[in-house]
Structure 1
Amino acid sequence: MTALTTVVNYLTALDKGDMPTAFSAFAEDVKWHQPGNNKFSGLKIGAGQIGEMIGQMMADTQGSFTLAPNGNLMVNGNLVACPVRFSGKKADGSQMDMTGIDLFEVVDGKIQTVWLFSDDQTAEDAFWGKA
């Protein structure tokens, strides 16, 4: 399976809300680099830690957090860059809607490492808040 196919399958499952299929694209020791200086920032290792973080993001936004591809996927060997748009709204009325890049490293047909880049990290940090 190519790196592109692996990432496309992950994104398709994510779009459908099929988290078990999406997370099956991850290597067992997947490393997820969440950017910024907020309560979700830092390195997450394994699908369990990633799933916990995403679950907390969904709880913070009452299920309104969304992420979707926002342009063509770009491939360089086993790296796949995906322009994304992500948004969410909190109960207090604060909102976030911005673009970014998700960069995936695929090894042996599994997503091994993910790096996320936010278009406006300061605004994203303010939205999520400190731990």
Structure 2
Amino acid sequence: MSAGVMSEQNINTIRNYFKALESGDMETFAAMFADNVVWHQPGNNKYSGDKQGVAEIGQMVAAMMQETQGSFALKTQGDPSANGQLVAVPVSFGGEKAQQTMQMRGTDLFRMNDGKIVEVWLFSEDQRAEDQFWGI
């Protein structure tokens, strides 16, 4: 498969990932990941650190949703771009809890293999503010 075809396939997978996430289709969201996926959650807060596998990722997302009473949301802010196995997406995300509000931009970076997400890195525009929002 040529690099251009692979990049387009990876971009389509990531577009479907965000559609599933934004619509709350957690079954499709989970199906986008390889079994041995590693998720690198940045910062110094209670959700920071590496998550191994879909179950740990799902537990983290569910906890974030519960803590924000369902207000936590993530949206793309531009088209995904690919470079071989890597796909980067500009995003915005935020939520509300206990009279605190967080809203910021960032970049999500995905490493793909055979049409599945095998590794995820998240970058926030203000990690300190995100850490303060989530707490320890």
Give 2:120's aligned residue. 114
Q: Is the 8 Å Cα contact of residues 14 and 80 (structure 2) preserved in structure 1? A: no
| TM-fit CA distance, 1:6 | 1.2
Give 2:74's aligned residue. 67
Secondary structure, in 3 states, of the residue corresponding to 1:13? Answer: helix
Secondary structure, in 3 states, of the residue corresponding to 2:65? Answer: helix
| TM-fit CA distance, 1:31 | 0.4
Query: Any residues of structure 2 matched to 1:38-117 within 5 Å, and which?
Result: 38-90=45-97, 92-117=98-123
| TM-fit CA distance, 1:88 | 0.3
- Normalised by the length of structure 1, the TM-score is 0.96
- Is it true that 1:19 corresponds to 2:26 in the alignment? yes
Q: Which 5+ residue runs of structure 2 have no aligned equivalent?
A: 1-5
Secondary structure, in 3 states, of the residue corresponding to 1:36? Answer: coil
Q: Which deviations, in whole Å up to 9, do the C-alpha atoms of 1:14-70 show, x marking residues without a partner?
A: 111101001100000100000000000000011100000001101110110000101
| TM-fit CA distance, 1:71 | 1.3
C-alpha distance in structure 2 between counterparts of 1:5 and 1:106, whole Å? 11
Secondary structure, in 3 states, of the residue corresponding to 2:54? Answer: helix
C-alpha distance in structure 2 between counterparts of 1:21 and 1:112, whole Å? 15
| TM-fit CA distance, 1:122 | 0.1
C-alpha distance in structure 2 between counterparts of 1:37 and 1:73, whole Å? 27
Instruction: Report how many residues are paired.
Output: 129
| TM-fit CA distance, 1:8 | 1.1
Secondary structure, in 3 states, of the residue corresponding to 1:57? Answer: helix
C-alpha distance in structure 2 between counterparts of 1:47 and 1:56, whole Å? 14
**Runs of 4+ that moved beyond 3 A:** none
Superposed CA RMSD: 0.9
Give 2:130's aligned residue. 124
- Normalised by the length of structure 2, the TM-score is 0.93
